[in-house]
Structure 1
Amino acid sequence: MTFIAQSGGEPTRPTFYQIDLVGEVIFYYLAAVAIIIFLYGAYGRVQRYTRGDEDWFDRLDGIVGRIITAVKLVGSNRPLFDRDLYAGVMHTFILWGFLTLLMGTTILAIDMDIYRPLTGESFWVGDFYLSYQFMMDAMGLLFVVGVGMAMYSRYDVRKARLWGKHTSLEDDLFIWTLFILGVGGFLLEALGILGRGFPSHETVSFVGYFIAVVLGAGGMTPEGAQAAYPVVWWLHAIHALAFVAAIPYTKPFHMLSSFANVVTRDEKAGTRLPGVPADLDATNAESIEDFSWKEILDQDACTKCGRCSSVCPAKASGRPLDPRDVILDLKAYRESLEGDGGEGEKPIIADGGTSVIDSSTMESCMSCMACMDACPVDIEHLNSFTRMNRQLVDEGAVDSNLQDVFQDVMQKGNTFGEAQRDRADWADDLEFDPTDAREQDVEYLWYVGDYPSFDERNKKVARSLARIFEEADVEWGILFDDEKYDGNDIRRIGEEFLYLELAGHHVETFEDCEFEQIVCTDPHSYNTFKNEYPEVDFAEFADDPMMPFEYDEQWNSDGEIDVKHWTQVVEELVEAGRLGLSGDELDYTVTYHDPCHLGRYNDEYEAPRELIRATGADLYEMPRSRKDSFCCGGGGGGLWMEFDEEPKPSEERLREALEDTDAGDAVEKFVVACPMCTTMFEDGRKTGDFEEDIEIVDLAELLIEAVEA
């Protein structure tokens, strides 16, 4: 047997207890084989990513800062605690228990294979050894507890989000492998302690010592422990080495791929989308080869945790979309092609079940970004979803209602198909005339938007906001018939070139006007002006005869032009006392719905709430509020399509307002700050039979009522 050097009888232990020299040689040989298999598999994974398309966004810039940020996020497990404290604690125990055991093994290997051969001594003795053993037992225990918590969630509670079409034996094998590794390590430690006659210093190995006491009380002798030790040692060693070798080929690879995914993430993913090349021969999702290396990494990083599925409003409403399944379906298809040499190719997306993803699945997406916000490993679902939507548009395979919208925007400049000359007719009932921002300098260039301009219900919102601006005595103006649809949602349903036409038209128009800030009624236009127009390479398309613009610069890339949602602007006006509100004008009991494009997309939660409080209304929060807000169902083209769903997202949200808030059915008004939300909730109020229970009001309407009170 091999012992490490003792120093005056200092506490330590044998490293290859009961294992002879031949056993040591065999172990090192197997370890080398396992490492080679691991490295070969990891190399294959990297090669797979290099075969993916180049990503539009430089994801390796400032790599040191990216790694530091990723270490903080992954090390703290902060994303895992979001919405699920139990899962956060469980994963923290597993992660840090596993990392500690890995670091402990590495330290011992350094001592055995580097330090000792060079110095003839060992540092694995005395106080260092005692501290080492205590920490290894403590963190090893947390590791086993964490794995036990995971098994409880999966097998006893059977948490719904952990099960799905891609749940397989691999998932069971992974969790049981971890459990056996942890328990097997403690059993091995206990046999060593019992076999060596309970050395007094081994009390620091409190878990192993306790198990050794139990084994001894159960009748095991030191001789029996010595005989059993080599058997358990080899089982544990082979189990551990097999796990290491299997990592690049199985689910445990997420330990590496998820970290890489966090390192290469785009912090603005979803709020801005990848562009397309001007080359008309380029394809979007004709084959799996069209996906970028980051999208392939996304697929490998998925841990099947189901967090995205559990918060998806489309799935909750019965639409045929499960964000996790889409990502894993693409991965499974890619791996099947790799396994059979490219045989069995089929369309990535099409109608009728002959493709990897059915078109109805993508049509169901509301682009609310709840899936991305919930994902603990920063998978960028919306990039892949938009790629597939663009493929449907390329093939002319989109919903007929969307085709009509595209046609209206191309011919009329708006989604209603109305004449552009009528765009400012909403202001006819005002006692003042809007300023033409094309002819006169203004403080606020107000982009009104399609729904406030043409929809009768939302025209009231536009007039309320105009009166607020007048009451605050600010200089504001609009673009009249030079204002077209902003393009945000048609971009998300795949019409990229039409989006580019609209963006080019607007930035040329903005350049011809003199103003201090752009103010948007709709969070959707606010998002696309703020985050997406500055990303467009207009020079690449300016010479295209199909594009109705000549602008060839990068617009607002330095953020010199402020783009704001109207609630942000009016909050500043209220704080400055320019609306004369005292905070006790209204006594309604209300709740507020966070629009996806204002909240999750742009992290603006406080301005609308401050404005509600400024009116004196009593605000009660719904359980799903702020970044957990539940989509109205109108995003991603949902406003223009019909779905067979039960309940509608808007109906479910109104039910939540009346049943799940602390105020219950005492809530009188459901406050929104998005024209699309207003439209969807007015519809849900009728179809869900809530007309007598609650009123839908835009925040601008609530504010002007308070001002005029």
Structure 2
Amino acid sequence: MAAEKSREVLWDTPLGLTILWYALAGVSVLVFLYGVARPVAKYRHGNRDGLPPLRELPGRVWRATATLYEHASIRRRDPYVGWAHRGIFYGWVVLAIGTVIVALDHDVVHPLFGVHFWTGNFYLGYKAALNALGTALIIGVLMMMVRRAFIRPRKLDYTRPDRAPGDPQYDRRAYRIGDWVFVILLLIIALTGYLLEGVRLAMDQPGYEAYQFGGWVVAQAFTGLSDGTLGDIRHGVWWFHGLLAIAFVAAIPYTKAAHMLSSYASLILRDPDAKRRLRVIPPERADQPAGYGTLADFSALHLLQLDACTKCGKCHEACPANAMGRPLSPRDVVLELREEANAAASARGVGGVLGSLLRAPTGDGLADRPVIGHDRVRPETAWACMQCSACVEICPVGIEQAPIINQLRRRLVEEGELDTNLQSTLQVIHKSGNSFGENRRRRGRWAKELDFQVKDARKEPVDVLWFVGDYASFDPRSQRVTQAIARLLHGAGVDFGILYDAERNSGNDVRRVGEEGLFEMLAEENLATLQACDFQRIMTSDPHSLNTLRNEYPALGDESWPVLHHTTLLLELIDGGHLDVRDRLSYKVTYHDPCHLGRMNGEYDNPRRIMELLGCELREMPRNRDNSFCCGAGGGRIWIPDQPGGERPSENRIREALGLGDDLDFFVVSCPKDVTMYEDAIKTSGNADRLELRELTELVEEALVAARRPATVGG
């Protein structure tokens, strides 16, 4: 006769050992709770910058939970890890739920109501689900172990690019050990669970082993053993498995497993616009030093995000500075700051933690811990960043690496610790309003070379106000593109105008350098000019200006306007029949997505649609769209000389383009800085005879000229 469809909890366990078990479980919970309290106390010392209002929390929790369960951010660009993590995650969740179900039945429902629900068909379904998901967990863990032991992707190399061999923390071996301990413990817990089930099935032979296939497989190894021997093995395995499980729970806040808590919290609280805009300095802190110089300067959100890092290495792999051998890894910056914050928190002790939770935080112990220095985050590390937001884009848990680095830069600028060329450029911008140091009256000089008058948007209403930008106004090569845009708009009957000498540098790169004061001055001047004009929308050919006008100026002014890139307007004109350019060209081209247009503002399709309409054959580079590789100009790097001897990001990109074939006609861009960076890279890489650069507008104008050219009689 088949046994009852259930099993006894705490089988054959004396009262004394039962009490011991519950005592140990209680201690485990207390240790866990204290581990959670430590970082919470630390976060209370941070300011509230970036924290969302309470009314947004329900929606944020829903979106974060959906992201978590869909694994959308984890599987991006790495499906192998996505599947492995799915197995671990869903296996862990279901096993944890299964443990709670047992506890509810045994410790709550039965003592209070005298019944068991953990029986019959419910029990069989429960066991089948746990067996299936437990197997998924084991497979996922084994996949991760194979990846670390044999595949060894570059992103898991913890060797720091900002340290030399022999320097402290050069290879961070402790992190590798911690990673292995984490996956091995998960594997042992899962395997001993099956071992325990197998011993029980071999001993009880309940008759429904098919629902416990994992345990049934293990049970075959124990066939023929006596009940006494099986009972001894069962007791030993039960205690080993149980103690390991409650020890693991207690250790969660202190180990890599902490990301199960902090990463979810980061997904809930993250700023969805972090990659496209930086936060203004609150008025109440305007008289304090800018940026992050000590741990006391950090926001609570950024302190949380330091803990949320899983060390997955996605940002490490995506960072163009790191790829070019610069002394920067966004992951290592986050880990360095985390170590400093944890050291400060540990120094406070139990009393300090409890005091921080019960009293208003004072910042004691944090203000005297600098975060920039030779043995901390080095200045050259912060200055290597291009602020391209590739790290923010790919981070699966929403960490704001680029904004954190920008905060470090703000303090470096405040203390005057910056490159002399960069300092000179900032002084030039402050004096002249542009990065070229040109007289303001020369900003609109390019328009005088046209055979028509470009309106002054300050003096008469226009439909489109064209914010031209520095490079498009002053750089001779980009001026040709600017004039081409003007001719196309004029020919299509667009009512447009420019600001002439009233336009200032938009401040995008100034702000990403860390010069917040100069940015605010430029923005205020531009906003005052814009508010005095009569227009419907703003257009710019400079993605850097577009990003700031669209995403950052609204936080400084009382109003905002539609801001579009010139490729959007050109496509609008082509689709509307105002530019007859369809199927006029037959070039083979590749296209570079500008960071500020693509990754930061999600505009990938309009330039590609234009090339398709022109009749061009587009060949995508391996790194495209949100994975586009930075040209190297962002974050003020265009004003900082590169170290001689190394490959520049722009040269690396040209090499990538040439890998598409020798018959490639043009490397197409849609950003004035890209024009400068890549035209130079084509020459310095020795490929001037193999590849030419075209700004997309130049192809549109060429197609328009071809459309107007009379057909040749007789073919």
1:694 alignment partner in structure 2: 691
Answer yes or no: is 1:323 the counterpart of 2:323. Answer: no
2:161 alignment partner in structure 1: none
Structure 1 residue identity aligned to 2:370: P
**3-state SS in 2 of match to 1:62:** helix
Aligned mate of 1:257, from 236, 259, 262: 262
Distance in 1 (alpha carbons) for counterparts of 2:81 and 2:436: 46
State the 1:284 CA deviation: 2.0
State the 1:220 CA deviation: 4.2
State the 1:424 CA deviation: 0.9
Aligned mate of 2:700, from 699, 703, 708: 703
In 2 relative to 1, CA 510–343 (structure 1 residues): closer, same or farther, beyond 3 Å?
Answer: closer
2:40 alignment partner in structure 1: 46
Distance in 1 (alpha carbons) for counterparts of 2:646 and 2:219: 58
**3-state SS in 2 of match to 1:357:** coil
Distance in 2 (alpha carbons) for counterparts of 1:94 and 1:61: 33
RMSD across aligned C-alpha pairs, in angstroms?
A: 1.6
Distance in 2 (alpha carbons) for counterparts of 1:504 and 1:283: 19
Structure 2 residue identity aligned to 1:638: R
**2:3·2:206 contact (CA, 8 Å) conserved in 1?**
no
**1:56·1:275 contact (CA, 8 Å) conserved in 2?**
no
2:471 alignment partner in structure 1: 451
Structure 2 residue identity aligned to 1:491: R
**2:51·2:269 contact (CA, 8 Å) conserved in 1?**
no
Structure 2 residue identity aligned to 1:667: L
**1:389·1:494 contact (CA, 8 Å) conserved in 2?**
yes
Q: Deviations over 1:604-649 (max 9, x none)?
A: 1011111111211111111111111111111011111112263211
In 2 relative to 1, CA 168–675 (structure 1 residues): closer, same or farther, beyond 3 Å?
Answer: same
Aligned mate of 1:679, from 653, 670, 676: 676
Distance in 2 (alpha carbons) for counterparts of 1:95 and 1:431: 65
Distance in 1 (alpha carbons) for counterparts of 2:29 and 2:248: 11
Answer yes or no: is 1:404 the counterpart of 2:401. Answer: no
Structure 2 residue identity aligned to 1:192: R
**3-state SS in 2 of match to 1:514:** coil
State the 1:391 CA deviation: 0.3
Structure 1 residue identity aligned to 2:126: Y
Can you give the 5+ residue segments of structure 1 that lack an aligned partner in the other structure? 1-5, 537-552
2:358 alignment partner in structure 1: none
Distance in 1 (alpha carbons) for counterparts of 2:281 and 2:219: 64
Answer yes or no: is 1:194 the counterpart of 2:202. Answer: yes
1:554 alignment partner in structure 2: 558
1:91 alignment partner in structure 2: 85
- 1:200-239 to 2 correspondences below 5 Å: 200-216=207-223, 220-239=225-244
Aligned mate of 2:187, from 179, 191, 195: 179
Structure 1 residue identity aligned to 2:668: V
**3-state SS in 1 of match to 2:597:** coil
**1:59·1:265 contact (CA, 8 Å) conserved in 2?**
no
1:3 alignment partner in structure 2: none
1:306 alignment partner in structure 2: 313
**Alignment length (residue pairs):** 673
**3-state SS in 2 of match to 1:597:** coil
1:427 alignment partner in structure 2: 447
**1:59·1:264 contact (CA, 8 Å) conserved in 2?**
no
Distance in 1 (alpha carbons) for counterparts of 2:290 and 2:347: 24
- 1:15-26 to 2 correspondences below 5 Å: 15-26=9-20
**3-state SS in 2 of match to 1:515:** coil
1:242 alignment partner in structure 2: 247
1:546 alignment partner in structure 2: none
- 1:48-197 to 2 correspondences below 5 Å: 48-58=42-52, 60-164=54-158, 165-166=171-172, 167-196=175-204
Q: Deviations over 1:556-610 (max 9, x none)?
A: 2xxxx211111111111111111012x2111110000000001110001011111
TM-score normalised by L of structure 2: 0.92
Answer yes or no: is 1:500 the counterpart of 2:497. Answer: no
State the 1:59 CA deviation: 5.4
In 2 relative to 1, CA 498–57 (structure 1 residues): closer, same or farther, beyond 3 Å?
Answer: farther
State the 1:338 CA deviation: 2.9
State the 1:277 CA deviation: 3.2
Q: Deviations over 1:509-568 (max 9, x none)?
A: 1111111110011001000000000112xxxxxxxxxxxxxxxx5232xxxx21111111
Answer yes or no: is 1:349 the counterpart of 2:372. Answer: yes
Distance in 1 (alpha carbons) for counterparts of 2:572 and 2:478: 24
Distance in 1 (alpha carbons) for counterparts of 2:404 and 2:366: 23
**3-state SS in 2 of match to 1:402:** helix
In 2 relative to 1, CA 79–56 (structure 1 residues): closer, same or farther, beyond 3 Å?
Answer: closer
State the 1:19 CA deviation: 2.5
Structure 1 residue identity aligned to 2:573: L
State the 1:498 CA deviation: 0.5
Distance in 2 (alpha carbons) for counterparts of 1:290 and 1:346: 10
Aligned mate of 1:533, from 553, 558, 561: 553
Structure 1 residue identity aligned to 2:697: A
1:541 alignment partner in structure 2: none
In 2 relative to 1, CA 525–283 (structure 1 residues): closer, same or farther, beyond 3 Å?
Answer: closer
2:650 alignment partner in structure 1: 650
1:594 alignment partner in structure 2: 593
Q: Which moved more, 1:498-507 or 1:334-343?
A: 334-343
State the 1:222 CA deviation: 4.1
Distance in 1 (alpha carbons) for counterparts of 2:97 and 2:366: 43
**1:631·1:649 contact (CA, 8 Å) conserved in 2?**
yes
State the 1:52 CA deviation: 1.1
Structure 2 residue identity aligned to 1:265: R
**1:262·1:377 contact (CA, 8 Å) conserved in 2?**
yes
Q: Deviations over 1:407-434 (max 9, x none)?
A: 1111101000010101111123211121
Q: Deviations over 1:474-526 (max 9, x none)?
A: 10000000011000011011000100011111111111111111001100100
**2:297·2:367 contact (CA, 8 Å) conserved in 1?**
no
Answer yes or no: is 1:462 the counterpart of 2:482. Answer: yes
In 2 relative to 1, CA 284–273 (structure 1 residues): closer, same or farther, beyond 3 Å?
Answer: same
**1:437·1:477 contact (CA, 8 Å) conserved in 2?**
yes
Can you give the 5+ residue segments of structure 2 that lack an aligned partner in the other structure? 159-170, 349-364, 707-715
Distance in 1 (alpha carbons) for counterparts of 2:576 and 2:543: 23
Structure 1 residue identity aligned to 2:371: I
**2:632·2:648 contact (CA, 8 Å) conserved in 1?**
yes
Distance in 1 (alpha carbons) for counterparts of 2:34 and 2:494: 66
**2:38·2:345 contact (CA, 8 Å) conserved in 1?**
no
**2:458·2:532 contact (CA, 8 Å) conserved in 1?**
yes
**1:60·1:264 contact (CA, 8 Å) conserved in 2?**
no
2:505 alignment partner in structure 1: 485
Structure 1 residue identity aligned to 2:450: L
1:543 alignment partner in structure 2: none
Distance in 2 (alpha carbons) for counterparts of 1:160 and 1:618: 33
2:402 alignment partner in structure 1: 382
State the 1:22 CA deviation: 2.3
Structure 1 residue identity aligned to 2:96: L
